[in-house]
C-alpha cells in the first residue's frame, strides 16, 4: 500500500462482494439472483465509465448495492400503473378512458380465476357462441334486430365496410371524413377495408341529392359518420339519418351509421349534453350502427355492431371477425356493465363515467377547499395555491362542446419572473409520486381539476410524500 493505492477502477467491489452486502442480499431475496446480478453489473459498468471520464470517484459494495436495488424497485413498478386523472378530461384516452363499474371489475376477476361458460350452453350442455353473452342485452337496450361485437369501434367500422362494400364504393359526405385520435382516419380505414371512398358534398353542406347522384351499380353502402370530436357550424346542411335511410332503402343499399361514442341512454336526463343514442340511430333506419364500449357507455374497450339480422350474420361470417374477437375477461366485464343499463334510476351512482360527469360542482368545490391547506404545505412557500373555477371536458371526442363546471386547485409560482420550467418541474414532481398525479399546465399555473378525484385519502398521502421530497 504505502501511498501506491490501487487505481479507483481496481478498487471497485466485485459483483460477488456487492451480492454479499446487506442490501445485495435484500435485492436477491426480493428480485432473485439473476435480476440482482444484472442490476449490479449495470451499476458497476456505469461506475467504471464514470471513473474513466473522471466524473465519479469510487463506491463501496453497499453503495453499489443500494443503487442497484433502487433500479430494481423502479423497474418493478408497473408501466400501466394507476394514476390520479386530474386533467379535467373525464374520458381521457391516454389514461385509459372509462373506469369500470365495480360489478364489471368483479365479473372480470371471476372470469380470470375460474373456468367460465364462454362458448358453452349451460342449458343443453353443448357448444355455444361467445357473443350471445351480450347479444341479447344489446338487442334489448338498442331495439335492434341483432348485434355482434368486436375489439373496438375502429374494428367495427373496418369489418362492416369490408363485409358490405369490399370491391365496391362507399359514399360519405365530405363533412364527415373524420380523424379520431390515434390515426383512425376514415379514408385510410376505407382503403384497408377494400372499399372505394366516394366523397360527396362539401365540408359544410351535403344534400340528399348529392347522395342520390352518387348511387350507382358499384355502390356498396351509404355511410353516415357522427362528427364526434368536432362541429361544423354556421352555413351548414347535413342530411338527417331518417332521410338517408329512406334513400338507401329505395336504392336497395345499406346505410351504416358510425356513432362513435354512442350512448344507450339519453344523457340529457342526467344533465349532460345530448349525444345521439344508439336506439335513435336504429329507429331512424340505419341498417347497421357501430359504437364504442369505453367512451360514454362507460365499459371496457369494445366495438358494437347492431342492426339488421341478415347483415349482422354476414359480419359474423367474415373471417376477420375471428381476428377481432373479445376475450373472456372483457366479455364478462361488458355483460356486467350492460346489465346496469337495465336499471336507469341507479345507473348514475353505479357507472363511474356517469357519476363523474354529473358530479355536482358544489361537491368538487368543497373538496378543493378541504385539500387546499395540505397542497399549499406540500408544494412549499415558493408557490401560491388557490381554488379556481374551471371547466371539465367529457373527452374521447365525445360531446366536444359540452363543458362541465368544475373546480381546480391552481399552483402558481409566487415569483412573477419564474420561468415555464418551474411549472414543468412541479408537474414532474407530481408525476413522480407513488400514485402519479396528472394535472395540466394552463394560464401560468399547474392545475388540478378535482372532478375525477374520489380517493381523497390516497391523494393526501401522496401530498405528504411530495412535501418530504421537496
Ligand X SMILES: *Cc1c(COP(=O)(O)O)cnc(C)c1O
List contacts with ligand X (CB under 6 A): 152-154, 157, 178, 180, 184, 225-226, 228, 258, 260-261, 292, 303, 397
Which residue spans within 23-180 are E strands per DSSP?
84-85, 89-91, 120-121, 126-127, 146-150, 169-173, 179-180
User: Residue 400: what are its φ and ψ, rounded to 5°?
Assistant: -60, -25
| Termini Cα distance of the chain | 43
Please report how close the Cβ of residue 194 comes to ligand X at its closest, in angstroms: 18
Q: Which is nearer to ligand X, 254 or 260 (CB)?
A: 260
Q: Which is nearer to ligand X, 65 or 165 (CB)?
A: 165
Q: Which is nearer to ligand X, 258 or 449 (CB)?
A: 258
Q: Which is nearer to ligand X, 399 or 438 (CB)?
A: 399
Please report how close the Cβ of residue 306 comes to ligand X at its closest, in angstroms: 15
Please report how close the Cβ of residue 18 comes to ligand X at its closest, in angstroms: 48
Look at residue 427 and give its three-state secondary structure.
Answer: helix
d(CA 182, CA 199): 23
C-alpha grid cell, residue 205: 353542406
Taking each helix axis from N to C end, the angle separating 61-76 and 22-31, rounded to the nearest 10 degrees, works out to 20
Please report how close the Cβ of residue 303 comes to ligand X at its closest, in angstroms: 6
> CA nearest 247: which of 220, 215, 225?
215
Is the separation of the CB atoms in 462 and 82 below 8 Å? no
d(CA 412, CA 429): 14
Q: Which is nearer to ligand X, 15 or 158 (CB)?
A: 158
Q: Which is nearer to ligand X, 225 or 411 (CB)?
A: 225
Please report how close the Cβ of residue 417 comes to ligand X at its closest, in angstroms: 43
The CA distances from residue 45 to 39, 51, 55, 318, in Å, are 10, 10, 14, 54
Q: Which is nearer to ligand X, 394 or 427 (CB)?
A: 394
Please report how close the Cβ of residue 183 comes to ligand X at its closest, in angstroms: 11
* Residue 113 neighbours by CB under 8 Å, 6+ apart: none
Q: Which is nearer to ligand X, 21 or 153 (CB)?
A: 153
CB-based burial of residue 421 (10 Å sphere; 0-12 exposed, 13-18 middle, 19+ buried)?
A: exposed
Q: Which is nearer to ligand X, 400 or 436 (CB)?
A: 400
Please report how close the Cβ of residue 339 comes to ligand X at its closest, in angstroms: 21
Please report how close the Cβ of residue 155 comes to ligand X at its closest, in angstroms: 7
* DSSP H stretches of helix in 148-199: 153-165, 186-193
User: Taking CB positions, which residue lies at the least distance from ligand X?
Assistant: 260
> CA nearest 201: which of 163, 174, 181?
174
Please report how close the Cβ of residue 293 comes to ligand X at its closest, in angstroms: 7
d(CA 212, CA 244): 9
Amino acid at each position: 500500500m504505502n501511498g501506491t493505492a490501487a487505481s479507483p477502477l481496481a478498487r471497485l467491489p466485485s459483483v460477488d462482494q456487492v451480492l454479499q452486502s446487506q442490501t445485495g442480499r435484500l435485492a436477491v431475496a426480493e428480485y432473485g439472483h439473476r435480476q440482482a446480478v444484472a442490476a449490479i453489473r449495470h451499476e458497476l459498468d456505469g461506475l467504471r465509465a464514470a471513473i474513466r471520464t473522471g466524473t465519479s470517484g469510487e463506491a463501496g459494495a453497499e453503495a453499489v448495492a443500494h443503487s442497484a436495488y433502487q433500479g430494481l424497485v423502479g423497474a418493478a413498478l408497473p408501466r400501466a400503473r394507476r394514476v390520479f386523472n386530474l386533467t379535467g378530461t373525464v374520458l381521457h384516452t391516454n389514461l385509459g378512458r372509462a373506469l369500470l363499474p365495480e360489478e364489471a371489475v368483479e365479473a372480470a376477476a371471476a372470469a380470470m380465476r375460474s373456468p367460465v361458460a364462454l362458448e358453452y350452453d349451460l342449458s343443453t350442455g353443448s357448444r355455444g357462441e361467445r357473443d350471445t353473452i351480450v347479444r341479447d342485452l344489446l338487442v334489448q337496450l338498442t331495439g335492434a334486430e341483432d348485434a355482434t361485437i368486436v375489439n373496438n369501434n375502429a374494428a367495427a367500422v373496418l369489418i362492416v365496410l369490408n363485409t358490405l362494400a369490399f370491391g365496391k364504393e362507399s359514399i360519405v359526405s365530405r363533412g364527415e371524413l373524420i380523424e379520431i385520435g390515434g390515426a383512425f382516419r376514415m379514408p385510410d380505414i376505407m382503403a384497408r377495408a377494400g372499399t372505394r371512398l366516394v366523397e360527396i358534398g362539401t365540408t359544410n353542406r351535403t344534400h340528399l341529392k348529392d347522395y342520390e347522384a352518387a348511387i350507382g351499380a358499384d355502390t356498396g353502402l351509404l355511410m353516415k359518420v357522427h362528427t364526434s370530436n368536432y362541429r361544423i357550424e354556421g352555413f351548414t346542411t347535413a342530411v338527417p339519418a331518417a332521410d338517408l335511410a329512406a334513400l338507401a332503402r329505395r336504392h336497395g343499399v345499406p346505410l351504416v351509421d358510425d356513432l362513435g361514442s354512442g350512448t344507450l341512454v339519453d344523457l340529457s336526463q342526467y344533465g349532460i349534453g345530448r349525444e345521439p343514442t344508439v336506439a335513435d340511430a336504429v329507429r331512424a333506419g340505419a341498417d347497421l350502427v357501430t359504437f364504442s364500449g369505453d367512451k360514454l357507455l362507460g365499459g371496457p374497450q369494445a366495438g358494437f355492431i347492431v342492426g339488421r339480422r341478415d347483415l349482422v350474420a354476414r359480419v359474423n361470417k367474415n373471417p376477420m371477425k375471428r381476428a377481432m374477437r373479445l376475450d373472456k375477461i372483457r366479455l364478462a366485464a361488458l355483460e356486467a356493465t350492460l346489465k346496469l343499463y337495465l336499471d336507469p334510476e341507479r345507473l348514475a351512482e353505479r357507472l363511474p363515467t356517469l357519476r363523474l360527469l354529473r358530479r355536482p360542482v358544489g361537491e368538487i368545490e368543497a373538496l378543493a377547499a378541504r385539500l387546499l391547506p395540505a397542497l399549499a404545505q406540500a408544494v412549499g412557500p415558493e408557490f401560491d395555491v388557490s381554488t379556481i373555477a374551471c371547466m371539465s371536458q367529457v373527452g374521447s371526442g365525445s360531446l366536444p362542446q359540452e363543458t362541465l363546471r368544475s373546480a381546480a386547485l391552481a399552483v402558481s409560482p409566487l415569483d412573477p419572473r419564474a420561468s415555464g420550467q418551474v411549472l414543468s418541474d412541479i408537474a414532474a414532481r407530481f408525476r413522480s409520486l407513488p400514485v402519479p398525479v396528472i394535472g395540466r399546465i394552463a394560464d401560468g399555473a399547474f392545475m388540478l381539476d378535482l372532478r375525477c378525484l374520489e380517493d381523497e385519502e390516497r391523494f393526501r398521502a401522496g401530498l405528504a410524500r411530495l412535501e418530504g421530497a421537496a
